[in-house]
Amino acid sequence: MSSDSRADGELVRAVLEGDRSAFGAVVDRYLPTVLAVIARIVCNRADAEDLAQDTFVRAYQRLGQYGQAHSFRNWLLKIATNLALNHLQSRRREQSRLPRMIEMQSQRSAGPEGPQDVPGPREWQRWLSKLDEPHRAAIVLFHFQELSYAEVAEAMDVPLNTVRTYLHRGRRRLKELMSARAVTERESWTAVIPSC
Amino acid sequence: MDCRDTKLLMDAYWDRHLPTELTAQVEDHLADCPSCRGEYGGVTELLARPDPVAVPAGLRERILAAVSTVEIQSHPQAPAGRSYRWWMDLLHAPWAGATAACLVFAFLGWIGFQIPVRGPDAVSSGTNARTAPDPMLLAGWTQSLAVPGPGRALPALVQAVAIERALRPELPEMSVRNRVLEQAVEPPSEAPPAIHEIGRIVAGLSTLGA
């Protein structure tokens, strides 16, 4: 991977002027962030990789619409978030149409060595996967990417107060899930983070 | 800081809204208090230290290969998410409903205030208090809208009454009204007064109180 030190705006200008290789530097710079955001929202590694690819393809196609006054990273995360949420929405529709097929698929992917799961030493993804999708997206963007309220609102296309509500409800739900598990198993919270 | 304070501050702490000193106090309390740590520590730990997501080998090349098959769009299209409309921000604003209601009431109030009508009570008591629109005025407007032809002069007639009342609030209401009606409506065989004649009527009325 190359380490291009040019600023985002310069890279975008270079791409718009015909330098396709400059987009490689953009991918190098933001692929880990984009993949992490999508993986945490969709909770599925294979889908996350496909959606990360779609994010960069779409960003490339619409590079002319990027306003230099805004953060390129946030613009990219907005595309990634919308693609991830739309993907979950369409997946939910498919699940409602084909319950048996999805049931079989989930049984296959539920194995301990399942390649679908996002790996991680603490396997926290299971907790997040229990949240509603918008709540999960807001938590990923605000807490994991450290975006501000306004930036999360822009990325998710929702009002600021809605972001506040999503975060509040998401954290409350996480707390309830963790408390319930801790009480049930009579263990401390450090010991109950589930494994995938 | 005790457990009650911590409970109150946890959302602000998670929202990164607390000043440094209070943030440190919350973290100290979480470290020292098993009860609060059991309640909030798990979420705090989860939100503070997300595990990294490794980029698989080959994904970068896959993305660049996909990008090489597309072109930058020359014409602006809708952004990736839902299309943005500036007025949607206004609709979502928490004060949108109250502002709209205030504007509607202010407009209605302004309309009402533009009709300088004094009710019979105000006239008889000699005050200039504005009251509800005079039934005759309303009837005049209604009639003028409902009846075509000569009746179209009625709006101007009604305006003449209203203007005269504004100019001469001290005049008895009935005398103004009758005077106008006598001059404008009485001759049935002749054509009704043209609009330009209303100016003359108003000018004549304005001398009534002199």
Mean pLDDT in residue range A64-72: 82
- Say if A23 is an interface residue toward chain B (CB within 8 Å): yes
* Separation between Cα atoms, residue B209 and residue B167, nearest integer Å: 10
Mean pLDDT in residue range A60-64: 89
pLDDT in tens, B59-79: 999 999 998 888 887 755 555
Residues 111-170 of A with CB under 8 A from B: 118-125, 127, 139, 143-144, 149, 156-157, 159, 161-162, 164, 167-168
Model-level pTM? 0.57
Residues 30-49 of B with CB under 8 A from A: 37-43, 45-49
**A51 pLDDT tier (thresholds 50, 70, 90):** very high
Q: Compute CA A151 distance to the chain's CA centroid, rounded to the nearest angstrom.
A: 15
Which residues of A are less than 8 Å from B92 in CB distance? 159, 162
Which residues of A are less than 8 Å from B51 in CB distance? 120-125
pLDDT lower than 70: segments of chain B: 75-94, 115-210
pLDDT at A95: 72
The predicted complex's ipTM stands at 0.75
Q: Is the pLDDT of residue A123 over 80?
A: no
Mean pLDDT in residue range A121-147: 82
3-state secondary structure of A105: helix
CA distance A89 to chain B (A): 13
**A124 pLDDT tier (thresholds 50, 70, 90):** low
Q: How many CB atoms lie within 10 A of CB B151?
A: 16
Return the C-alpha torsion angle B105, B107, B109, B110, nearest 10.
160
Determine the residue of chain B that is closest to A52 in CA distance: B63
pLDDT in tens, B96-119: 788 888 898 888 888 777 765 554
Q: Is the pLDDT of residue A110 over 50?
A: no
